[in-house]
Structure 1
Amino acid sequence: MSSAIVLVLLLTFSARPAWAEVFNIVGFGDSLMAGYQLAPGEAFPEKLEAALRDSGSDVTVANAGVSGDTTSGGLSRLDWSVPEGTDLVILELGANDMLRGLSPTTTEKNLDEMLTRLRERDIDVLLVGMYAAPNLGPDYQEAFNAIYPRLAEKHGLPLVPFFLDGVAANASLLLEDGMHPNAKGVDLMVERMLPAVDALVEGEKPEM
């Protein structure tokens, strides 16, 4: 079989050409992204990368999570934490703003600025939301929970409403602190987010 025929077959049957560049993802967030108290390889970015590669995608997922980070901290480190050549940022910040009772207005302003900067660099974003704790009161809950849907609509972005969906309040999927996911919890988080990320890697609009 000639090399020309082999090349045609590769183009016909491969979703991505053999010479396609690696798709670079940055998981940008706080301790939930960083993998607080988890063993090496058990954090969300590492497990997401493994799952994407298992599904046939040639990707890297860098872990740019910093435990304790707020949206203000994220904004201050955004430019150097997301290098040139990044194709997609999974933006997960705001939980520590909420836990500290910071103004939802400030949280939204910081996230809005981050999204603007990333879009100016032609970097796609998957926005990951968080829900306010009930003990902060209904007014704070309403104001905080509205941040992520509003920003997703403003910037035309796909939204994962709650990063800990199915994990929060499930003791078997959490560390002893009752706040951070254990390795099994991360597995569920990856499973639930994988279709959306996979679609973005393939250049498609995810079904949310």
Structure 2
Amino acid sequence: MCAPTYAATILILGDSLSAGYGMAENQGWVQLLRDELPNAHIINGSVSGETTAGGLRRLPSLLRSSQPDLIIIALGGNDGLRGFPPDKLKSNLTKIINLSQQHGAKVLLTEIMVPPNYGPRYTSSFTQTYHQLAEEYAIKLIPFFMQDIAIDKTLMQRDGIHPNEQAQPMITQWMLPWITQALVE
């Protein structure tokens, strides 16, 4: 039997929103993305509770083992929920982007937003970090995939933080055009 030949290897470096927290793995948006892109080898390097520091620590090993063509960075939510300073967020994301690009991978960065109860200054500074990095590194910034889902209680788990099974196809369809465009550029 021959090994499959893939058009591209995609690494998703995320947290519980990408790890499929609270549901079977085959129900999460990453598995649905695999169904949409059968010629891609999609590696879900997402871990529930992951921070940018944790993702940075794990990244060298993931890069060596997967040799991705494209990396989707979907980290920062746990940094924000823990009130980590935006400059630390930016430092970790900068290192993740640099490592990814040094390995020859294209990078997509997903915008992450924190709840407004952290105050307007923190919230704005946190969100702006993603826009600054996208501009500084000339990479695509995917708007926060939870922005329409988080406000609809029927699409959220009881904890009010994680999307439920019904939201997963929406996330897949949100991410798909960004990913397919990055693969052809």
Q: Flag whether TM exceeds 0.5 (same fold).
A: yes
Among 46, 67, 70, the residue aligned to 2:31: 46
- Structure 1: give runs of 5+ residues left out of the alignment: 1-18
Residue 90 of structure 1 corresponds to which residue in structure 2?
72
- Once residues 152 and 138 of structure 1 are traced to their aligned partners in structure 2, the CA distance between those partners, rounded to angstroms, is 22
Residue 82 of structure 2 corresponds to which residue in structure 1?
100
SS in 1 for 2:154: helix
Task: Give the paired residue count.
Answer: 181
- Structure 2: give runs of 5+ residues left out of the alignment: none
- Please tell me whether residue 25 in structure 1 is matched to residue 10 in structure 2: yes
Residues 174 and 182, structure 1, Cα contact 8 Å, conserved in 2: yes
Residues 111 and 143, structure 2, Cα contact 8 Å, conserved in 1: yes
Question: Among the aligned pairs, what percent are the same residue?
Answer: 35
**Structure 2 residue identity aligned to 1:177:** D
Quick one: structure 1 residues 65 and 21, their matched pair in 2 at CA, closer, same or farther if it must change by over 3 Å? closer
Residues 73 and 108, structure 2, Cα contact 8 Å, conserved in 1: yes
Among 124, 127, 130, the residue aligned to 2:106: 124
How far apart are 1:169 and its partner, in Å? Answer: 1.8
CA RMSD of aligned residues (A): 1.5
Residues 19 and 25, structure 2, Cα contact 8 Å, conserved in 1: no
Residue 171 of structure 2 corresponds to which residue in structure 1?
189
TM-score of the two chains, using structure 1 as the length reference: 0.83
Among 58, 66, 81, the residue aligned to 2:62: 81
TM-score of the two chains, using structure 2 as the length reference: 0.93
Larger radius of gyration: 1
